[in-house]
Structure 1
């Protein structure tokens, strides 16, 4: 599964309004109650004027005083000044670097909330998104992560050669760290070994870059880390990835092994291997990354044809029309952008009877599911899963059929 995230540039200060037609100014303070949690993980608070503000570091039901930090259209952003009524789900974060300030890490924005409460909000978001599609009953109880700390099997640090850490959310500020409790023990050891190398002149970024990247996973030691070189992609939570594979294996179990399968966004075979082990004999696995497809092809799995193909090209599915016309089973695990050109896919894939859609983005999954429903599919089951505790992220495992 590929996780290519679109980069969003921060608005220029010159474009941010300092006041609005209602007389609200940046720096103004107001009191309010958190009525909901946004998809991005911030608290949703209504200003006395009716304008909605997004505020990090607060939870549903909490009350406080907030300071306006920017105004954008009908919405705005603010910071917590004083918490006057705390949620019963609020807990002390385990990480010393947790926070929402410019120098805080911000990578685990929900670490101040009890883990069960986090899971409840994630499941409710999925049910809320599916209800308008008439698929609310298909949503299963969310699978929490077996470990809410010590689960992260890969990470990317930033360094200027003097400090090492993560870039604070929504900024270009390096949040220096001396520990990261969400990392698995081997990765935590690697972090400590990297920190002991500071200061490290070899990690000083070039003039064109603010930081040097250091990618780690459990297959590399500190001595083997190569600056600005990405490690091969893998799911970030080993236990939850295993559960995803088990889900797919169980969902595919009733199908005839001779059914032609088309797998899109196969990567180097995280789910292809599951199908091969089940004995499916006609699998076409496609991914945009040539190196991933080369790795998959080198495995020489039985029944697999591995193809490198740009799945986001405008004619992506026109070029794959022969495979689509033959396939009765579609397995896909796209990046956050979901399925582009889905209408073309559905036009060529008229024989498709089963779709196993693995998604890391609820919004694009909801959009694409709506199109599948229009094409005559129904949602048999939708299993939410928490891959990254203390964050708003959700993984979705869906079986659609017609």
Structure 2
């Protein structure tokens, strides 16, 4: 159904020649038409002269298709994947393979800075050097769609086609580890051989340091013959650590097909930490970047041996356990009781094996709905010198709002209800905020700076997802006297 405010143009509209000025936050070229309307052009880059056919219009913007490239940007490069592009059937997993990787990071940095200023009215005092790593073979997690195409007598496994619900005909994928990319065609043959070929819509990939977990979603019970085929496939690819997990319904039904001596886990060697996880648990897509991210976050947090630190949205303990090697006491807070139990298990396991020079301090975990935080709950969780916040895309508004309310109470603001015990509670001197959504970071940063008594000391991007428009970032906030803040 077409939005009545949106007109889809029928027929072949004449192409217009335009000059591309910039990229938007979705990786599209931005130009202006002769009548001043903004035109978004997929596949176009800044400082390019292009011919564009407009195929979608609204009152103040248009969507165009790149018809011809007259003058190419010096930052345009040959894509590293044969499935990338604007052609029919192109994979929609990446959006910026045609842009040099250095320029990709610069675009993400601009998105971060523009968002902080326009949405939060915050300007970092310092821009951090981008966190970068390999741009190929980095994606250790992926959700691959499966489709049996009867007419062609084949099975497709991969990401969706660009702007489509169809599955791309992928024979390889250079952003996946080579060991995974090399399995795409064998997996197609395997699924095609199953009795359940019509009822297996998805394979979820989760790679650890030594194990490649493949979670097969099946909508009907698998036959004994199918189970045997899966086991044979795992045996044939034991060198790359293939493990089959089966999912019949929701995530709680995920079960390992065969017992294995190898555990799905990843290491943080700088801190002597090993993190076991289940394939449906949240872990970072890019393990190389995650190691750098954890190291830099702790360096920026500048934890002292006697400090108490709270890790909000702690998950499995990705930051909590490394923090426990440096702090005096750590509290990990997470919304899921199941994740809290798993984080506690990871802590106990690592504490038992940690060498003396990396001993883990006293660490507790608590389940809390972090989207319904209140000043009273903050007081209940106790004071801490340092906070680390690593929320999902929704951000940490409720948590930051509660912090701001306590700040307003301490300043005697009118109309603010006093929280019992707040007088003895002290706010953190430093906050490191790790974000996967620049818009919610900007919103929360504005609240921290303008209502909670902090200054934005620094911020920078994390290139967690090369060749995509996805922006991960980190910002550091220091407690200040509100009268001396330059950002108020």
Range of TM-score over shorter length: 0.7 to 0.9
Q: Distance in 2 between matches of 1:267 and 1:221?
A: 20
For 1:337, what is the secondary structure of its paired residue?
coil
Larger radius of gyration: 2
Selected match of 1:260 from 301, 304, 308: 308
Q: Distance in 2 between matches of 1:397 and 1:389?
A: 17
Distance 1:80 1:256, change over 3 A: same
Long gaps (5+) in structure 1:
1-11, 206-210
Q: Does 1:17 align with 2:6?
A: yes
Q: Does 1:158 align with 2:217?
A: no
Q: Does 1:397 align with 2:470?
A: no
Is the contact made by 1:95 and 1:181 (CA closer than 8 Å) also made in structure 2? yes
**1:152-172 Cα shifts (integer Å, max 9, x gaps):** 111110012421111134332
Is the contact made by 1:16 and 1:70 (CA closer than 8 Å) also made in structure 2? no
Matched residue, 1:82: 68
Report 1:88-237 matches (<5 A). 88-101=74-87, 103-130=89-116, 133=121, 135-145=123-133, 147-161=134-148, 162-199=155-192, 200-205=194-199, 212-218=201-207, 219-221=211-213, 223=234, 224-226=244-246, 231-237=280-286
Q: Distance in 1 between matches of 2:405 and 2:147?
A: 50
TM (norm. structure 1) is: 0.85
Report 1:58-69 matches (<5 A). 58-69=44-55
**Deviation at residue 69 of structure 1 after TM alignment:** 2.4
Matched residue, 1:55: 41
Matched residue, 1:339: 396
Q: Distance in 1 between matches of 2:164 and 2:369?
A: 32
Long gaps (5+) in structure 2:
149-154, 215-233, 235-243, 249-253, 255-278, 352-360, 408-425, 480-488
Distance 1:323 1:398, change over 3 A: farther
Q: Distance in 2 between matches of 1:191 and 1:16?
A: 41
Pairs aligned (count): 377
Q: Distance in 2 between matches of 1:357 and 1:15?
A: 40
Distance 1:32 1:55, change over 3 A: same
Is the contact made by 1:317 and 1:348 (CA closer than 8 Å) also made in structure 2? no
Distance 1:187 1:310, change over 3 A: farther
Distance 1:99 1:226, change over 3 A: farther
Question: Which has the higher mean CA deviation after the structures are superposed, 46-55 or 24-33?
Answer: 24-33
TM (norm. structure 2) is: 0.71
Is the contact made by 1:126 and 1:139 (CA closer than 8 Å) also made in structure 2? no
Q: Distance in 2 between matches of 1:85 and 1:308?
A: 56
Distance 1:103 1:15, change over 3 A: farther
**Deviation at residue 102 of structure 1 after TM alignment:** 5.4
Q: Distance in 2 between matches of 1:14 and 1:131?
A: 32
Question: Which has the higher mean CA deviation after the structures are superposed, 115-124 or 193-202?
Answer: 193-202
The list of structure 1 runs, each at least 4 consecutive aligned residues, that deviate by more than 6 angstroms after superposition, is: none
Matched residue, 1:276: 324
